[in-house]
Chains A and B, each alone.
Chain A
Amino acid sequence: DAKTTQPTSMDCAEGRAANLPCNHSTISGNEYVYWYRQIHSQGPQYIIHGLKNNETNEMASLIITEDRKSSTLILPHATLRDTAVYYCIVRPLTTDSWGKLQFGAGTQVVVTP
């Protein structure tokens, strides 16, 4: 069962903000929203995660709606190196699912000069 829905692809101009949406309408109260990205020929890389509050780190910002049914990953100033597939994943932090991740198809983001 797909827990998240993401657009298949997005284009973004270099230097502009990239806003990546994710729908997770069936999210449970104990599930976190995690974002990863996979640059071509590399392993997935953690970006950010959150439960219900907005989060920011050196890579990106995560905006989660009040009802938690959707979220947006924001890359504030996209660079060519941000071209990658971005995965939105919801997961509980319970003992029977420690560390397990289920990857969907993700969003292919292409940053153009």
Chain B
Amino acid sequence: DAGVIQSPRHEVTEMGQEVTLRCKPISGHDYLFWYRQTMMRGLELLIYFNNNVPIDDSGMPEDRFSAKMPNASFSTLKIQPSEPRDSAVYFCASWAPQEPFTQYFGPGTRLTVL
């Protein structure tokens, strides 16, 4: 398996623009997680899905952030409008309830909002 795939790997945009991050989980994994990592706050869970349904979005910072999972092989995290404080590395991870019961992380998307 190719692992969790994220695109783009790097995104530079200007304040106010819409940003869409994409994730393809490992085939057969029915849980998908979105994390954000910054120097100040470390690695934070934003939202996670089970069988394409959002289960817990309590970590989503505000209404400017939205996430969808239209099917088992694709998810998006959208920020509109983007702000400089959204600059971070965004990771997607997927998981299946089987040994070793671990999440597998993608390579991340480094977002810079100017």
User: Which residues of A come within 8 Å of B, CB atoms?
Assistant: 32, 34, 41-46, 49, 93, 98-105
Contact = CB atoms under 8 A, between A and B. Distances in A.
A36 B20 CA distance: 28
Given A42-B107, A43-B91, A101 B45 contact: yes
Given A98-B31, A99-B48, A49 B102 contact: yes
Contacts of A32: 101
Nearest to A43: B105
B66 interface: no
Interface secondary structure of B, over-half rule = strand
A46 B31 contact: no
A44 B104 CA distance: 8
5 contacts: A43-B91, A44-B43, A49-B100, A49-B101, A93-B101
Nearest to B33: A99
